[in-house]
Amino acid sequence: GLQVDGPSRFSFPRVSLQPRRSPPPPRARTIRRLASEATTPADIRFMRHAARRAAAALLSPPTLSSPSSAPLSLPVPSSCNSAPLLRRPQSLRARAPEAGLTRTPHERVPVPSSCARDRHFDDARGVLDERPKRSAAAWTAVIAGCARAGRHSDGMGAFAEMLAEGGAAPNAFVLAAVLRCCSGLGDVESGKRIHGWLLRNGVHLDRVLCNAVLDMYAKCGDCERAKRAFRAMAEVDAVSWNIVISACLQNGDVLGSVQLFDESPVRDTSSWNTIISGLMRNGCAAKALDRLYHMARAGVEFNHYTYSTALALAGMLSLLDLGRQLHGRVLTAALETDAFVRSSLMDMYCKCGSMNAAVLIFDRWSHLTGDMKFAWSTMVTGYVQNGREEEAFEFFRLMLRQGVAADQFTLTSAVAACANAGMVEQGRQVHGCVEKLGHSFDAPLVSTIVDMYAKCGNLEDACRMFDIAPTKNVALWTSMLCSYASHGKGRMAIELFNRMIAEKIKPNEVTLVGVLSACSHGRLVSEGEHFFKLMQEEYGIVPSIEHYNCMVDLYGRAGLLDKANNFINANKIKHESIVWKTLLSACRVHKDMEHAKLASESLIQLEQCDAGSYVMLSNMYATHSKWRDTSKLRSLMRERGVRKQPGQSWIHLKNIVHTFVAGDTAHPRSSEIYTCLEKLMERLKELGYTSRFDLVAHDVEEEQRETALRFHSEKLAMAFGIISTPSGTPLRIFKNLRICVDCHEAIKYVSRATDREIVVRDLYRFHHFKDARCSCEDFW
**With 0-12 CB in 10 A as exposed, 13-18 as middle and 19+ as buried, what is 136?**
buried
Question: Is 18 contained in some domain?
Answer: no
Question: Is 256 contained in some domain?
Answer: yes
**Domain range for 757:** 648-774
Side-chain half-sphere CA neighbours of 667 within 13 A: 24
pLDDT at 369: 56
CATH number, position 201: 1.25.40.10
pLDDT at 27: 40
pLDDT confidence band for 688 (50 / 70 / 90): confident
H or E stretch at 768: strand 766-770
Residue type for position 695: L
What are the angstrom distances between the C-alpha of 81 and each of 87, 150, 157, 187, 623?
Answer: 12, 17, 8, 17, 79
Question: Is 411 contained in some domain?
Answer: no
Residues 385-399, mean pLDDT to the nearest whole number: 89
Give the residue with greater pLDDT, 483 vs 122: 483
Dihedral sign (CA 14, 20, 23, 24): negative
Q: What are phi and psi of 438, to 5 degrees?
A: 80, 20
pLDDT at 414: 92
Q: Which residues pair with 649 in a beta bridge?
A: 660, 735
Residue type for position 31: I
pLDDT at 124: 55
* Listed residues 244, 273, 293: the one ending a domain: 293
Question: Is 734 contained in some domain?
Answer: yes
Question: Is 744 contained in some domain?
Answer: yes
Question: Is 381 contained in some domain?
Answer: no
pLDDT at 83: 30
Give the residue with greater pLDDT, 652 vs 103: 652
What percent of the chain is modeled with pLDDT above 90?
36
Give the residue with greater pLDDT, 46 vs 368: 368
pLDDT at 552: 95
pLDDT at 129: 58
Quickly list DSSP for 521-590: HTT-HHHHHHHHHHHHHTS-PPP-HHHHHHHHHHHHHTT-HHHHHHHHHHTT-TT-HHHHHHHHHHHHHH
pLDDT confidence band for 605 (50 / 70 / 90): confident
* Listed residues 243, 264, 293: the one ending a domain: 293
288-326 pLDDT, tens digit each? 999 999 999 999 999 999 999 999 999 999 999 999 999
Whole-number Å distance between alpha carbons of 738 and 657? 20
DSSP conformation class of 203: -
Closest CA to 692 of 706, 671, 713, 680: 706
Residues 495-523, mean pLDDT to the nearest whole number: 93
User: For all residues of the chain together, what is the average pLDDT?
Assistant: 79
541 with 571: CB under 8 angstroms? Answer: no
Closest CA to 175 of 150, 205, 202: 205
Question: Is 337 contained in some domain?
Answer: no
Residue 731, helix vs strand vs coil:
strand
Give the residue with greater pLDDT, 113 vs 749: 749
H or E stretch at 766: strand 766-770
133-169 pLDDT, tens digit each? 667 777 788 888 888 888 888 888 888 888 887 766 7
pLDDT at 652: 87
Whole-number Å distance between alpha carbons of 433 and 406? 9
Number of other CB atoms surrounding residue 540 within 10 Å: 7
Answer left, alpha or beta for residue 403, where phi above 0 means left and psi between -120 and 50 means alpha.
left
12 with 159: CB under 8 angstroms? Answer: no
pLDDT at 134: 67
pLDDT confidence band for 10 (50 / 70 / 90): very low
210 with 220: CB under 8 angstroms? Answer: no
Q: Which is it for strands 758-761 and 731-735: parallel, antiparallel or unpaired?
A: parallel
2 with 225: CB under 8 angstroms? Answer: yes
* Listed residues 266, 293, 320: the one ending a domain: 293
pLDDT confidence band for 329 (50 / 70 / 90): very high
Name the pTM for this structure: 0.67
Domain total in the chain? 2
pLDDT confidence band for 91 (50 / 70 / 90): very low
Question: Is 202 contained in some domain?
Answer: yes
pLDDT at 120: 53
